[in-house]
Chains A and B, each alone.
Chain A
Amino acid sequence: MQSTGMTTKELRQKSVEYRKKILKYIVKAKAGHTGGSLSCTDILNVLYNEIMNVSPANFASPDRDRYIQSKGHTVEALFVVLADAGFFPEKDLETLCQYQSHYIGHPTRKVNGVEQNTGALGHGLPIAVGTALAGKLDQKNYKVYTLMGDGEMPEGSNWEAALTAAHYKLDNLCAIVDKNTLQITASTADVCNTDPLDDKWKSFGWAVKEVDGNDVAALAEVLKGLPFEAGKPSVLIAHTTKGKGVSYMENVLKWHHGVPSAEEYEQAIKELDESLSAI
């Protein structure tokens, strides 16, 4: 583990700082997947600051832990966390979505710290399975994490990969589902209901746990218990709130890729600052 030894309070503060930065760069770029970036912020915070053995210093090492973001569209959260981890200067994010910038609207390996180019949904898990298989073949101890959206659960390739992961007993693999219950059209339940999600993963041979995905302490505790069951891949269903931390964005569909106006941004920062003071 690469725990930075942060207290729960410090982790919570970090999440708020990340959220402020996510909004800052989305507003500057006039583009971004706002709601989903805010829903997965705490997950990325805990992974990079408490759980994963990955850093700019060891990123070329074959022994590093791997993070593959299947829900690539919430790249703003990833970029902010990677910048904070020292993979690149945060000021680079000022070029987000600009002409010839590497900081585009989905993860790309041209950005230091990004493992795989993603963006099309249903791709992260199969790649993560191959990466975990390589670890088993080479008798490495690294773990592979992939973050998936609940909206991408209907992609068939996920379930193909789920079968392979269980077949090869990949207990070095952890899929995290950012279950914020909304996708671009409507609620995931209304678009294509994938509940009960836990039963589906269980029936595919995975060890399943659920957690409040916006509770950094709970996330850290459950992820420190990987694998959830020896000989099985683990999936963590993280119940999150889309738009988390900004009152007018929470659970509101339009913030899937809505960009705040100047006034809305000001209010969001005010709210986040208040929540920071309250920690």
Chain B
Amino acid sequence: MGEQISTLPYKANLEVYSETLQRLAETDRNIIAVTSDSRGSGKLVPFGKKYPDQIVEVGIAEQNLVGVAAGLASCGKKVFATSPACFLTARALEQIKNDVAYSNNPVNVIGISAGVSYGALGSTHHSLHDYAALRAINNITVVAPADNWETARAIELAAATAEPVYLRFGKKPMPLLKEAGDEVFEFGKGRVIVEGSDVLIIGCGETVYPALEAAGLLKERGIAATVVSMHTIKPLDTALLARLAAATKAIVTVEEHSVYGGLGEACAAYLLQHGICKPFEIMGIPDEYTVTGSQNEIFDHYFINKKGISDIAERLLKNKY
């Protein structure tokens, strides 16, 4: 499982974003990247060089970034407003709420270096609130693709979809979860990566891969896990969730986000309100001053790794909460 797929070539989802946008821009002059001194961190320098008329730079001014993006989108441009997720979804939250979502201007809000990607730069640079904040805003799809394939498909779909979308990803190379083949990627449709009858592990973004590795460890312990990449946090694939949850013995959710208001609570709320009650644990960043360190160290500290996830899954199966 994890060991096998990790040998496939892979890169950071951020790089895939940039490559995909360049590919789309080759045939579509309406693709516009809007940046706030973020073309370097967004890997958009090659895009800007190749398509200088299709990149708008507003300087370090995130509120303006989103407002300008909304204006461009209202004129038919396919806009990718690109900035670190931490600033974009906090400082410009009102612009996302009003100018994008409420006004229904189909901006693709691209949160780069999301979650704790910036690691030791500290909490000013972490976005652990974005799912929660945006889930509470009507008319915006919230997506965290896990691997390179999901990222490329999500960007293509965002460009083709005339509705507000928030996409976030990190800068760590992400292995392919599986060979997608002719699979169709859709917002709001989770992907089952592996199937097993004992425990259900639901992740999104960069936590799906450690979840998959955890499934490998569990298998060695005789426990069969289902792993889902729930790349769309809103709208949640409740049909898939209900079907898999009903068939399993315990459920673990794992996200690079506060344990409040994100993927885990979205799943928990749906399941409880539909009478599907299984041993359940939300893994993520707890409500405390986040430990300092690199992204990997922060993940390890909060047990977001194959051992941590598999241990929690095993504990839930013993009905220990």
Contacts and interface: CB of A to CB of B under 8 A. Distances in A.
B71 A131 contact: yes
Interface in B22-81: 32, 53, 56, 58-59, 61, 63-64, 66-77
B94 interface: yes
A129 B103 contact: no
Centre residue among B56, B94, B104 by max chain A CB count within 10 A: B56
A179 B53 CA distance: 36
B99 interface: yes
A157 B63 contact: yes
Contacts of B105: 116
A5 interface: no
Contact of A134 (B59, B61, B76): B76
Nearest to B56: A133
B64 A135 contact: no
Q: Label chain B's interface by main secondary structure.
A: helix
Contact of A132 (B59, B71, B76): B71
Contacts of A164: 58-59, 61, 64, 68
Nearest to B61: A160
Centre residue among A62, A119, A130, A157 by max chain B CB count within 10 A: A130
A249 interface: no
A131 to B, nearest CB: 4
Contacts of A129: 64, 67-68, 71
Q: Label chain A's interface by main secondary structure.
A: helix
A43 interface: no
A123 B69 contact: no
A270 interface: no
Centre residue among A126, A131, A133, A167 by max chain B CB count within 10 A: A126
A206 to B, nearest CB: 15
A115 B74 contact: yes
A133 B94 contact: no
Interface of A: 62, 109, 115-120, 122-123, 125-135, 137-138, 156-157, 160-161, 163-164, 167-168
Interface of B: 32, 53, 56, 58-59, 61, 63-64, 66-77, 94-95, 98-99, 102-105
7 closest cross-chain pairs (CB), A and B:
A130-B71, A126-B67, A134-B75, A160-B64, A160-B61, A130-B68, A131-B71
23 contacts: A109-B104, A116-B74, A116-B103, A117-B102, A120-B94, A123-B95, A126-B67, A127-B71, A128-B71, A129-B67, A130-B75, A132-B71, A134-B72, A134-B75, A137-B77, A157-B63, A157-B64, A157-B67, A160-B59, A160-B61, A160-B64, A163-B58, A164-B61
